[in-house]
Amino acid sequence: MAKKVQIDVKPYIKNNRIYVPLRFIAETFECKVSYSNATVRIDTAPLLIDGIAVKAFQQEYHMIMGGVVQQIKGNAYHEALYRVFEQNKGKKIDEPANYAWRLNLDDPGAYYKNGQFEFLDEKGTSLKRFDIYSLQSAAPEGTLSEYPQIVVHEYDENQWYEFNRSAQESIEQLINTASMNGFLTIISDTVA
């Protein structure tokens, strides 16, 4: 729910950028701000799933010759990624007849698993898992509308939902941004 908050210092524009007071913005979003040795530190609250703090977001994806497992550590990333999954689940659907990590071009309704995404606690135990699947392009002409293009499986609830491409792209963008900003660590890479 949006609420208005009065800023204590007027923002200003310099070199086509808008400047606002960092402490005010951080504390408005319930972050803790501290200074030490000319360094500003902003701590955000961890994402809680069923009352347990998320310590890492883990992505696994496979390619023809191997796979990659990588983790993101950063409360703001965890919150944003979780929100994308939860807010973009479409209508509930039945479990697809055929889905797997490998392509199956012989089955017109088969789904390929793009990735497995898990929110982990401090011990590495999964708190919530989502698997994203894309419909393979082998569906016969005229039948593609029967099958959603992208689906998400909420693994813990064993429930399938329609999903959308823009949400999938948002997840990819957040992961790329986390990587560029040093919040992503590769745990395993078996791609030859």
Q: Are residues 17 and 57 in the same domain?
A: no
Percent of the chain with pLDDT over 90: 58
pLDDT for 141: 59
pLDDT for 33: 82
Average pLDDT over residues 134-148: 67
**pLDDT exceeds cutoff 80 at 90:** yes
pLDDT tens per residue, range 21-66 = 877 777 777 778 888 888 878 778 899 999 999 999 999 999 878 8
More confident site: 110 or 1: 110
In a domain, 85, yes or no: yes
In a domain, 2, yes or no: no
Domain carrying residue 161 = 48-189
Q: Are residues 180 and 92 in the same domain?
A: yes
Q: Are residues 105 and 18 in the same domain?
A: no
Number of compact structural domains in the chain: 2
Global confidence as pTM: 0.79
Cα 152 off chain centre by: 12
Q: Are residues 98 and 27 in the same domain?
A: no
**pLDDT exceeds cutoff 90 at 156:** yes
Average pLDDT over residues 163-168: 95
Q: Are residues 36 and 58 in the same domain?
A: no
Q: Are residues 126 and 112 in the same domain?
A: yes
Question: pLDDT band at residue 192, thresholds of 50, 70 and 90?
Answer: low
**pLDDT exceeds cutoff 60 at 152:** yes
Question: pLDDT band at residue 177, thresholds of 50, 70 and 90?
Answer: very high
The Cα-based distances of 49 to 69, 132, 159 in angstroms read: 22, 20, 18
pLDDT for 55: 96
Question: pLDDT band at residue 138, thresholds of 50, 70 and 90?
Answer: low
